[in-house]
DNA sequence: AATTATGTTTAGGCAGCCCTAAATAACGCC
DNA sequence: GGCGTTATTTAGGGCTGCCTAAACATAATT
């Protein structure tokens, strides 16, 4: 029984935990450099913070080997992630934000909004399960829907897929994807894949209202999809 | 033309400016001790911060005499106050917060919420003019409805008044006032004033649905009213 | 196995914002 | 008009969270 209830973490600490959580999900332990890159902070500063986080019992740190969240650190990261994603939902659905602008606003608010505020927002929205970019919202008790989806860049010609999630860091990219009709829930058929990292030709939209689009592989790699039965 | 647009002030700086704005409205310049008391910070720390605020051009400081906001400081204070009060409105009217709990939540959010978010909230509410406690919301261009109201403690027996605003710092007090039916907009008749700082007997509520209540002078001094024509 | 490149940590600094203790100025009183 | 009280400021520190430069560990190369 490790209770140790949220001793109120600072904004920066929450940001570090979120970054580590995310990096750890891909490869193994998160490395100093990766964290520094993601948070736009010098590696030396990250090293210093790793020390503090380890002292707080939020991570375990093997020098020169990387860091891992402890159970407590994971819980804290998921709490912040839940706040962030519910805020994103609320901003788009209730306050009319476009999906390319919610990320930055939520990034600020997530450190200031109380648990209660966020839960009231979630209730007002009917306890949403995914944020506007399709990312799953962690539950109150710290569980998350953990899938490993393929990206549109991995889909082969002739395949029919449904868009599940798009990466939300870059606003311009999100605006462009919205223009193309590529958003969570949309169905997409891969018409053709040009060789040598060439463009991927798609049919976007439901039966009857399909439009032809072409995207580069870099963009396609930002779009997570699941198979939908061959065409 | 002193443009110098909001160079993004820190949370603590915004808190100091709000406190100074408030104190300056009563007596003349705000003193170090008053500010320290209100922000629950040591006077020495306030002295230090006064130096910084003066360097930033937000206040003028006459050593040992007190401080005054500059025009720029006043604008910054009013911007924060506007954010705070619109947030309070939104939390009560849309998210169902009770009026004794909005203050603290808004206090946190006001430093993180963007101008845009707050304006969207204001629009959703129909551009409210007062917060849930009756305090006027500064306009976007930095003007405020500036009244000097009397308090219920100054009203004489037989007078009929309308409640305009109640002080919002203490949650328990707000809960009690709500219980008594004393909230902005309520009409109140002063039935009797006991001497020697004794209780003030009131008839609270509109014609037909009046109830008798009694309050001490300390509480009455927290309720701002305007005359409503003799009874 | 030695060298080089890369990634990480330590050392030393700085700014913001807070503290306590001590010095100093202003005020009120006799 | 001096004296004590009270208010204010200065001196000296601490913690968070960032920085650069330099030292060090690990991995990659030849």
Interchain proximity B108–A108, CB inside 8 Å: no
Residues of B within 8 A of A117 (CB-CB) are 91, 95, 105, 109
Q: Which residue is nearest to nucleotide C11 (CA to C1')?
A: A44
DSSP secondary-structure letter at A160? Answer: E
Distance CA A2, CA B149 (A): 54
- Structure confidence at residue A205 (pLDDT): 82
Rounded to the nearest angstrom, the minimum Cα separation between A77 and chain B is 20
CA-closest candidate to residue A167, choices A197, A132, A194, A191: A132
Residues of A within 8 A of B122 (CB-CB) are none
CA of A33: nearest nucleotide by C1' is C7
Q: Which of B91, B112, B120 sits opposite A95 (nearest CB)?
A: B120
CA of B40: nearest nucleotide by C1' is C18
Residues of A within 8 A of B120 (CB-CB) are 95-97
Phi and psi at residue A166, to the nearest 5°: -125, 145
**pLDDT for B162-205, tens place per residue?**
999 999 888 999 999 998 999 999 999 898 888 888 899 988 88
Interchain proximity B112–A109, CB inside 8 Å: yes
Least confident of A114-123, A190-199, B49-58, B122-131: A190-199
Q: Which of B112, B117, B120 sits opposite A111 (nearest CB)?
A: B112
Interchain proximity B108–A113, CB inside 8 Å: yes
B13 touches strand C (CB under 7 A): yes
CA-closest candidate to residue B148, choices B224, B217, B219: B224
Q: B110 and B84 in contact (C-beta within 8 Å)?
A: yes
B28 touches strand D (CB under 7 A): no
**pLDDT for B201-229, tens place per residue?**
988 887 777 889 988 988 998 999 998 86
Tens digits of pLDDT across chain A (231 residues): 544 555 689 999 999 999 999 999 877 899 999 999 999 999 999 999 999 999 999 999 999 999 999 999 999 999 999 999 999 999 999 999 999 999 999 999 999 999 999 999 999 999 999 999 999 999 999 999 988 889 998 888 889 999 999 998 889 999 999 999 999 999 999 999 888 888 999 999 877 788 899 999 989 999 999 998 644
Interchain proximity B97–A120, CB inside 8 Å: yes
What is the average pLDDT value for chain B, to the nearest integer? 91
B118 touches strand C (CB under 7 A): no
The position carrying tokens 């061959």 is A230
Q: Is the pLDDT of residue B231 over 70?
A: no
User: pTM for this one?
Assistant: 0.91
Q: Is the pLDDT of residue B153 over 70?
A: yes
Flag residues 37-76 of A with CB < 7 Å from strand D. Answer: 40-42, 44-45, 48-49, 52, 63-64
Q: Is the pLDDT of residue B35 over 70?
A: yes
3-state secondary structure chain B: CCCCCCCCCCHHHHHHHHHHHHHHHHCCCECHHHHHHHHCCCHHHHHHHHHHHHHCCCEEEECCCEEEECHHHHHHHHHHHHHHHHHHHHHHHCCCCCCCCHHHHHHHHCCCCCHHHHHHHHHHCCCCCECCCCCECCCCCCCCCCCCCEEHHHCCCCCEEEEEEECCCCHHHHHHHHHHCCCCCCEEEEEEECCCCCCEEEEECCCCCCEEEEECHHHHCCEEEEECCCC
Interchain contact A93–B (C-beta under 8 A)? no
Q: Is the pLDDT of residue B98 over 90?
A: yes
Please state at what angle helix B32-39 crosses helix B43-55, rounded to 10 degrees: 110
- Structure confidence at residue A231 (pLDDT): 44
User: Which is more confidently placed, A116 or B158?
Assistant: A116
């Amino acid at each position: 029984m490790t209770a140790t209830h949220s001793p109120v973490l600072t904004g920066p600490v929450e940001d570090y935990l979120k970054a580590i959580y995310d990096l750890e999900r891909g490869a193994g332990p998160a490395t100093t450099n990766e964290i520094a890159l993601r948070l736009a902070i010098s590696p030396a500063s990250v090293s210093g913070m790793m020390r503090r986080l380890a002292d707080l019992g939020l991570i375990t740190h093997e020098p020169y080997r990387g860091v891992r969240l402890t159970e407590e650190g994971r819980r804290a990261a998921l709490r912040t992630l839940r706040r962030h994603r519910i805020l994103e939902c609320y901003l788009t659905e209730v306050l009319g934000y476009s999906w390319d602008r919610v990320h930055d606003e939520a990034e600020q608010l997530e450190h200031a909004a109380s648990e209660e505020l966020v839960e009231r927002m979630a209730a007002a929205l009917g306890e949403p399960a995914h944020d506007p970019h399709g990312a799953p919202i962690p539950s109150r008790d710290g569980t998350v829907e953990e899938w490993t989806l393929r990206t549109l860049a991995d889909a082969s010609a002739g395949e029919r897929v449904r868009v599940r999630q798009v990466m939300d860091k870059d606003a311009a990219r999100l605006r462009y994807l919205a223009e193309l009709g590529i958003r969570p829930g949309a169905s997409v058929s891969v018409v053709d894949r040009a060789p040598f990292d060439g463009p991927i030709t798609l049919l976007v939209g439901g039966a009857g209202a399909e439009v032809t689009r072409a995207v580069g592989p870099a963009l396609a790699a930002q779009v997570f999809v699941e198979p939908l039965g061959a065409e």
